[in-house]
Amino acid sequence: MSRRSGVLEFAVLGLLRESPMHGYELRKRLNTSLGVFRAFSYGTLYPCLKTLVAQGWLTEEAAPEDPLATAPLGGRRAKIVYRLTPEGKEHFEDLLAQTGPDAWEDEQFGVRFAFFGHTERDVRMRVLEGRRSRLEERLERMRASLARTRERLDDYTLELQRHGMESVEREVRWLNELIETERAGRGRAKGRPAETGRDDTDPSDTTK
Amino acid sequence: MSRRSGVLEFAVLGLLRESPMHGYELRKRLNTSLGVFRAFSYGTLYPCLKTLVAQGWLTEEAAPEDPLATAPLGGRRAKIVYRLTPEGKEHFEDLLAQTGPDAWEDEQFGVRFAFFGHTERDVRMRVLEGRRSRLEERLERMRASLARTRERLDDYTLELQRHGMESVEREVRWLNELIETERAGRGRAKGRPAETGRDDTDPSDTTK
DNA sequence: GTTTTCATGTAACCCGTTACATGATTCA
DNA sequence: TGAATCATGTAACGGGTTACATGAAAAC
């Protein structure tokens, strides 16, 4: 048994932290609220939910508005609502506090960032800085490799590498800004939504 | 059997097109010459080579400089050099000519681009334009989803989405430039290298 | 009343990695 | 001579998708 995904598990626990949901809705949130992320299929999601229940981190309950919920019939299928247990919440907090190397790999980092609103500030800093140095290592290797092979490559290959490096450099600059903001204490911390708009916090924020 | 990977197969055929190689070297080239791409492990590469041989697209031969090559002993292992067969080359040309939707998915597109030097111009155009419209669709969905859920999201999630969209927009602009260049006839076609102009960034580069 | 959409699930497969096993060659 | 690197391979597992099967509720 056990489909232990890491990212998916993290995302599911995090989303359920806000409010109980059933699988179908959960899946949609994974593509929207949780952003730009890859869409997990039901074939991944449902088995994952089962194992999380088995771990004791979630409970299954029939949807309250569901008429089948109270029917004593066996075998009928009703909408299943998943709710985070106290143990599940605790486990999620543990995950949030982790700052190991995994946390700055491409995939993990995305989810980690998405839940920064629930993350302690020093943890945020460590994750951001870890991510940055990971990217800087990557840049270093790309530069080295490029220097070694520059002449043997045709223009398209070269252009591809150039664009790739530029993307990474761009993300590093992004991280620098974020780290700067955190350092200045303007980081939007735990559970304080900072009012996505008028308020203070960030004069450079346009987007609307 | 059959590990048919698509990208890996493509890359292997393309690299062997230049010159015969053995697996170990091939693998290194996948991380350098072929760029920024993911490093396939031997556990992927070697079985893949076997299936390509079985398809008749490659031949295995003992390395010429290898003393074991001529030894009539059984069981001794020598360095194996893989060479593209005429059928293999033909197959690769077929793959190069394909412009189906697969060609503009993230992974495929990278390899396709890396071999643009061997690709016909009209094919290059179709691939670039296909990629662009794929990205534009993605942007559209992101914008729509963002418009729907903006208020419910905290600042970090919002920032993540913003950065994600900006990355995609940036790639679209990159594609626009490339398409423009191709249209102007300045595309570096089959084996005609042009200046590596714009970059220059670092004249202190030596290392060779 | 039939088509969509919502909702849950499973089995088969795919593409890849990790960990391991083996042995040859190079180099300090 | 022993360690590092080159070189080839395989079995077990991991994390995911596709295609399929089922059925209820909503929309037309």
In this prediction, residues B30-35 reach a mean pLDDT of 75
Chain B residue closest to A143 (CA)? B205
SS3 A150: helix
Burial group, residue A16, by CB count within 10 angstroms (0-12, 13-18, 19+): buried
| Range B41-59 burial, b when 16+ CB lie within 10 A, else e | eeeebeebbebbbeeebbe
Convert the pLDDT of each residue in A164-199 to its tens digit: 999 999 999 999 999 999 999 866 555 444 444 343
Chain B residue closest to A207 (CA)? B162
Mean of all residue pLDDT scores within chain A = 82
Residue A12's CB is within 10 A of a number of other CB atoms, namely 29
| Entry pTM | 0.84
pLDDT given for residue B76 in this prediction: 44
CA of B74 to C1' of C26 (A): 25
Strand C footprint, Cβ within 7 Å: A 22-25, 42-43, 46-47, 49-50, 77, 79-80; B 3-8, 38-44, 66-68, 76-77
CATH T-level assignment (fold) for domain B7-97: Arc Repressor Mutant, subunit A (1.10.10)
* In contact, B156 and A116? CB cutoff 8 Å: yes
pLDDT given for residue A206 in this prediction: 36
CATH number of A7-70+78-97: 1.10.10.10
In this prediction, residues B13-18 reach a mean pLDDT of 94
| Alpha-helical regions (H) of A55-203 | 86-97, 106-114, 121-149, 155-183
Domain ranges of chain B: 7-97, 103-183
Which band of pLDDT confidence, cut at 50, 70 and 90, is reported for residue B32? Answer: confident
HSE, CB side, 13 Å, CA atoms: give it for residue B121: 13
pLDDT given for residue B185 in this prediction: 80
Convert the pLDDT of each residue in B176-208 to its tens digit: 999 999 999 866 555 444 444 444 334 443 333
pLDDT given for residue A82 in this prediction: 96
- Measured N-to-C along each axis, helices B106-114 and B121-149 cross at an angle, to the nearest 10 degrees, of 150
Map tokens 């303007």 to a residue: A186
Chain C bases near protein Cβ (<7 Å): 6-12, 14-20, 23-25
